[in-house]
Amino acid sequence: MRRVFAVTALTGLLLAGAGCADRDSDPFAVGFASPAPRATPAPTATGDAGVCAGAKQAGSAAVQTYVQKLAEMLRANALRDRRTEEAARREAEAALAGWRDTLREQSARAADPRLRTLLADLATEVGGLGTDVRAIDETEFDRLQGRLDELCPG
């Protein structure tokens, strides 16, 4: 149960403001609202609208995959299905690696030095997440996410 709570807490932290769907019927189900399409990126505090959009889109997709795979991993563990558990673990780790790489790419593209540094910090944090939900530093990630929301509102 602690792991389910940690997965749920992680989802909330990573998707703050992203429009999570109702998950009451299945504690492992994860739903995400589709973002409304925009003709042009929204203005940002830094002027890096494309960078912000890329970082947030990559995060949304990666978190969806990551949380779904963690849920699969936990289910398989409960059923003692090691093969499925390992496959889900590899896919969750791949989602994190892709997100980390995108954050690094967006960091390199950012014109604002604060955003560049923040995205590099987020990439480091995401790279260290892994699949051990007990080891996730929710406080640090929440702080970084708050800074991203300040630099990339909307």
Task: Say what the pLDDT of residue 48 is.
Answer: 79
Give dist(CA 71, CA 19) in Å, integer.
Answer: 19
- 39 pLDDT band (50/70/90 cuts)? very low
What's the pLDDT score for residue 117?
Answer: 92
- pLDDT per position as a tens digit, 136-151: 677 777 777 788 888 8
Residue 32, strand partner residues: 20
Note the pLDDT tens digit of each residue in 83-137: 999 999 999 999 989 999 999 999 999 998 999 999 999 899 888 888 776 776 7
Mean pLDDT of the chain: 74
Q: At what angle do helices 2-14 and 49-78 cross, to 10 degrees?
A: 170
